[in-house]
Amino acid sequence: MAVAFVRGVWFVFAISSIHYASSSQEQCRAMEFTPVRTFDGKRLMNHLILATEVTDREFCGARCFLEENCASYNLMTGSEAENHICELNNATHEGHESDLVNYSGSIYRAAQDACANDPCNRRGTCQVGFTQKDYRCVCSLGFTGQDCLSDIDECSEGTHSCDINADCSNTDGSYECICNPGFHGDGRNCEDIDECATNTHSCSADHLCNNTDGSFSCTSFTCKEIYDRNPQSENKAYDLVAGPEKIPIYCIMRATGMGPCGGGGWTLVMKMNGTEQTFHYDASIWTNKVAFNLEGGETGLDGQETKLPTYWNTSFSKICVGMKVPGEVDTRFIVILQTAESLYSLIADGQYRPTTSGKDAWKSLVSPPGRLQANCNKEGFNTSGDNTGSAGRARARLGILGNGEDDCYTCDSRIGFGTGGALDDSITCGNAHGYNLKVKTMGYIFVQ
Ligand SMILES: *[C@@H]1O[C@H](CO)[C@@H](O)[C@H](O)[C@H]1NC(C)=O
Ligand SMILES: *[C@@H]1O[C@H](CO)[C@@H](O)[C@H](O)[C@H]1NC(C)=O
Ligand SMILES: *[C@@H]1O[C@H](CO)[C@@H](O)[C@H](O)[C@H]1NC(C)=O
Ligand SMILES: *[C@@H]1O[C@H](CO)[C@@H](O)[C@H](O)[C@H]1NC(C)=O
Ligand SMILES: *[C@@H]1O[C@H](CO)[C@@H](O)[C@H](O)[C@H]1NC(C)=O
Ligand SMILES: CC(=O)N[C@H]1CO[C@H](CO)[C@@H](O)[C@@H]1O
């Protein structure tokens, strides 16, 4: 017996049987070419994977050992001086008897062929000499397992190449990619469908279509936007984006009955009842960002109170305020030209911010014409008299104060929204004039 070490492989030469074994764990292969499977004068045809020249006869077996698909070889010996031709085959004669032909000068040697009965399924490649079963399978794409019987679930293993916006579904030996709704493409590449551009959205005429990844949204932030898109729009509640959600908010589109405010799309902010204390000057409703009775925001100029997210979430360039005296049919309006981020930004910090509507305008809110004393005339947001008095100083979140004396100290009259203090702290919206005139009205605030 002779032992040699060539190219990292131990060769064990027995008298007439040659055994090859490698020690690397993954590549562990053992091949034996025995005398019973050696055929002088024969050559296996049709299974050639590599033809090469070797200087030593025994090296052909070593080449076969190193070629993972090799199962047998033909060695064609020349004269002493010449190299030998070494043909490596990926099969043995077993099952291919007719391919083994007479050929003088050729020796055919076959390894033990555990691959002869095709143990590898799904078109897997069988390689002899590996593992304890004496073969191993190189499975075709999409299959795994010892004999390639198991399908690989590319979807759950994440080895698929579906687009991030596609659905991956496993199939036998492969997988399918189907673009998610709202996307189009072959599944490997999916592109957003622009529903707005392709007019496949379902937004009503009241809303602007806004394309998003995989979908679209229908948005309107203010009543004016809706009006500008369609001046024929009617007075009613529309779904507006106010804060994080869309909620129904009453819009006044028509100029009819709106006096100096006109039409053009007024967004409702508040409705208050001057008899109730909900909107008293000192109520936290003026300083927080909490909505009150959203249902009341869906209807028009009625008796329900409401405070909508439009208080702190809607910017504007003018304000329309209205008062409705009990028993009167009409609501009387005045317009205040004022630009702001929100009504909240003008009121909640408690800072006085003047307006310039004028006394007559404020008086026109109440019918018969409201009454104010001759002096002071301090009007605006968070307007406040100076005398803390018995009932507290007269004040209005939005309104005007009047006084008999030529200062703002002892104000006995006021017209406004969110009022309190002298002379009647219980009136939260309307007109107070001394001890005799107390008009508690409904108050409405819109912005545009
Ligand atoms: C074996 O080799 C032949 C070429 O000689 C090739 O056509 C055939 O596909 C191979 N078979 C396998 C299972 O690799
Ligand atoms: C192959 O050779 C053997 C003897 O060496 C002979 O009996 C046989 O007829 C030959 N086959 C062919 C097909 O020539
Ligand atoms: C459109 O949608 C995007 C993303 O959702 C949003 O950031 C943007 O404000 C929307 N624009 C309009 C006009 O609604
Ligand atoms: C509207 O409200 C949302 C959250 O409620 C806020 O992120 C956004 O800044 C607000 N917009 C304005 C103009 O106040
Ligand atoms: C205002 O509130 C008072 C007291 O609750 C109520 O009697 C009156 O009917 C309300 N006004 C309207 C217009 O609903
Ligand atoms: C300028 C002014 O009148 N500010 C008043 C606003 O309201 C707060 C709270 O009532 C008063 O403290 C301020 O004096």
Confidence category of residue 351, pLDDT binned at 50, 70, 90: very high
Confidence category of residue 5, pLDDT binned at 50, 70, 90: very low
Residue 206 is predicted with a pLDDT of 83
First-to-last alpha carbon distance for the chain, in angstroms, is 104
Confidence category of residue 187, pLDDT binned at 50, 70, 90: very high
Residue 420 is predicted with a pLDDT of 94
Nearest-angstrom CA–CA distance, 436 and 347:
29
Provide mean pLDDT across the span 39-61: 95
Residue 25 is predicted with a pLDDT of 52
* pLDDT greater than 50 at residue 289: yes
What confidence tens digit (pLDDT) does each residue in 241-285 have?
A: 988 889 999 999 999 999 999 999 999 999 999 999 999 999 999
Phi, psi of 78 (to 5 degrees): -100, -155
Q: Which of 301, 294, 203, 296 is nearest to 252 (CA)?
A: 301
Residue 426, CB-side half-sphere exposure with 13 Å CA sphere? 5
Residue 386 is predicted with a pLDDT of 84
Cα–ligand 1 centroid distance for 89 (angstroms): 8
Side chain identity, residue 98: S
- Map residue 236 onto helix, strand or coil: strand
Cα–ligand 5 centroid distance for 406 (angstroms): 36
Nearest CA residue ID for atom 10, ligand 4 = 313
Which token pair is 367?
């019918």
Closest ligand by atom to 40 CA: 2
- Map residue 396 onto helix, strand or coil: strand
What confidence tens digit (pLDDT) does each residue in 150-184 have?
A: 999 999 999 999 999 999 999 999 999 999 999 99
Which residue's structure tokens are 């919206």? 429
Nearest-angstrom CA–CA distance, 235 and 249:
11
Nearest CA residue ID for atom 14, ligand 4 = 313
Nearest-angstrom CA–CA distance, 33 and 70:
12
For ligand 5, whether the C-beta of 276 sits within 6 Å is: yes
Residue 22 is predicted with a pLDDT of 65
pTM over 0.85: no
Residue 205 is predicted with a pLDDT of 83
Cα–ligand 1 centroid distance for 154 (angstroms): 28
Residue 95 is predicted with a pLDDT of 94
Which residue's structure tokens are 């529309």? 238
Provide mean pLDDT across the span 324-332: 94
Nearest-angstrom CA–CA distance, 49 and 55:
20
Provide mean pLDDT across the span 36-44: 96
Residues near ligand 1 with C-beta < 6 Å?
47-49, 69, 90, 125
Which residue's structure tokens are 């002071």? 376
Q: To 5 degrees, how large is the angle CA 409–CA 413–CA 414?
A: 105
Q: Are 21 and 10 in contact (CB under 8 A)?
A: yes
For ligand 5, whether the C-beta of 315 sits within 6 Å is: no
What confidence tens digit (pLDDT) does each residue in 419-433 have?
A: 999 889 999 999 999
Cα–ligand 3 centroid distance for 210 (angstroms): 6
Confidence category of residue 393, pLDDT binned at 50, 70, 90: confident
What DSSP line would sit under 303-327, residue for residue?
S--EE-THHHH--EEEEEEEEE-TT
Cα–ligand 1 centroid distance for 373 (angstroms): 109
Nearest CA residue ID for atom 10, ligand 3 = 210
Strand partners, 153: none
Residue 63's H or E segment, with its range, is helix 59-66
Cα–ligand 4 centroid distance for 242 (angstroms): 8
**CA dihedral defined by 336, 342, 343, 344, rounded to 10 degrees?**
-160
Nearest-angstrom CA–CA distance, 126 and 118:
7
Which token pair is 421?
């203090």
Residue 82 is predicted with a pLDDT of 80
* pLDDT greater than 60 at residue 1: no
Which residue's structure tokens are 């009121």? 347
For ligand 5, whether the C-beta of 306 sits within 6 Å is: no
SS3 content of the chain, % helix, strand, coil (to 5): 10, 40, 50
Nearest-angstrom CA–CA distance, 217 and 214:
10
For ligand 6, whether the C-beta of 165 sits within 6 Å is: no
Provide mean pLDDT across the span 21-44: 84
Provide mean pLDDT across the span 227-238: 94
Provide mean pLDDT across the span 78-82: 72
Residue 390 is predicted with a pLDDT of 64
- Map residue 337 onto helix, strand or coil: strand
Confidence category of residue 3, pLDDT binned at 50, 70, 90: very low
